[in-house]
Structure 1
Amino acid sequence: MHHRTLFDGKVVEIATTMHSDPRGMLTAIQFGSYSFHPVRAFVVTAPQGTSRGGHAHRSGRQLLMQLSGEISIEFRYQKQVERMILTPVNRAILVESSVWARQTYEGENPAMIVFCDTEYDPESYVTAAGFD
Structure 2
Amino acid sequence: MNNFSSPKIILLEGIVNESGSLHFFEYSEALPFSIKRSFWITEVPQGGKRGVHAHKKETQVLVALKGSVKVSLEGTSGSKHEFILDQPNKALILPAMFWSEVTFDKDTVLLVLSDQEFLESDYIRDKNEFDEY
TM-score tier by shorter-chain length is 0.7 to 0.9
Alignment match, 1:80:
79
Normalization by structure 2: what TM-score?
Answer: 0.83
Quote the offset at 1:87 in angstroms: 1.1
Q: Which runs of 5+ in 1 are unaligned?
A: 1-7
Q: How does 1:1-132 map to 2 (within 5 A)?
A: 9-33=5-29, 34-45=31-42, 46-77=44-75, 78-88=77-87, 91-106=90-105, 108-129=106-127, 130-131=130-131
Q: Which runs of 5+ in 2 are unaligned?
A: none
Higher strand share goes to which structure? 1
Normalization by structure 1: what TM-score?
Answer: 0.83
Identity between Structure 1 and Structure 2 (%): 23
Which consecutive aligned stretches of 4+ in structure 1 deviate over 3 angstroms post-superposition?
A: 128-132
Q: Is 1:14–1:92's contact at 8 Å kept on the other side of the alignment?
A: yes
SS of residue paired to 2:93: strand
SS of residue paired to 1:76: strand
Distance 1:9 1:119 in 2: 20
Q: Is 1:73–1:104's contact at 8 Å kept on the other side of the alignment?
A: yes
**Two-structure CA RMSD over aligned residues (Å):** 2.0
Distance 1:31 1:96 in 2: 17
